[in-house]
Amino acid sequence: MSNIALSRRRRLAGSAALALLAGSGTARAVELSEDGLHQQPWFLESFLDLKEDLRGAQGAGKAFVVLWELKGCPYCKLLHTVNFANPKIASYAQENFDFLQLNIIGSRAVTDFDGAELPEKELAVRYRVSGTPTLLFFVEDKAAGAREVARTKYREPAEFLGMLRFVREKGYETISFEEWLRANPQQI
């Protein structure tokens, strides 16, 4: 094996180890669902009707997030064992968002905002979700029904908290996330 490949692996392994130690100081174990996805006890229990889930979230004063994951996804694991393990992030997420977890290759029937019923994997294609984890943030737009206002992949804890605040504080109405984050740096 070449020294270049070996040093790249070491950097990647080092980055992963640092990420595991970020936030609360250590990674924590998370339960897995039957389909192998990491679970949070505060995730939305749903009949998989996106329109109803969005209305329920907004009725509770929360924003609505569809979280796409995949069994064995290393960044999905980091999202749960590092980001959601951080008490500051977990409490902010629970207080301000309803998270619906879907499997990017799943077969459960989901009713989309327009009433179309599709398996999870076809819904993922419809929303151009190509990797995991992917978080889609939706609000109800009076004229157009549901509207996606932000999307993100895995982010380190401070940036992830920034994304949650960006959506909750409606930063998307005036500037990009990158601009918003520069003006509102996050401390964990």
* Lowest mean pLDDT, pick from 30-44, 86-100, 107-121: 30-44
- Nearest C-alpha neighbor of 99 from the set 68, 121, 143: 68
- 3-state secondary structure (DSSP) of residue 128: coil
How would you list the strands of the sheet with 97-103, edge to edge? 97-103, 63-69, 134-141, 145-152
Residue 50 has pLDDT above 90, yes or no: yes
**pLDDT at position 18, please?**
40
Q: Where are the alpha helices (DSSP H) in 46-140?
A: 50-59, 74-78, 87-96, 120-126
Omega prior to 87 cis, within 30 of 0 = no
**pLDDT at position 27, please?**
52
| Domains assigned to the chain | 31-183 (3.40.30.10)
pLDDT tens, position by position, 134-146: 999 999 876 667 7
* Lowest mean pLDDT, pick from 31-40, 112-121, 168-177: 31-40
Percentage with pLDDT > 70 across the chain: 83
* Lowest mean pLDDT, pick from 12-26, 81-95, 166-180: 12-26
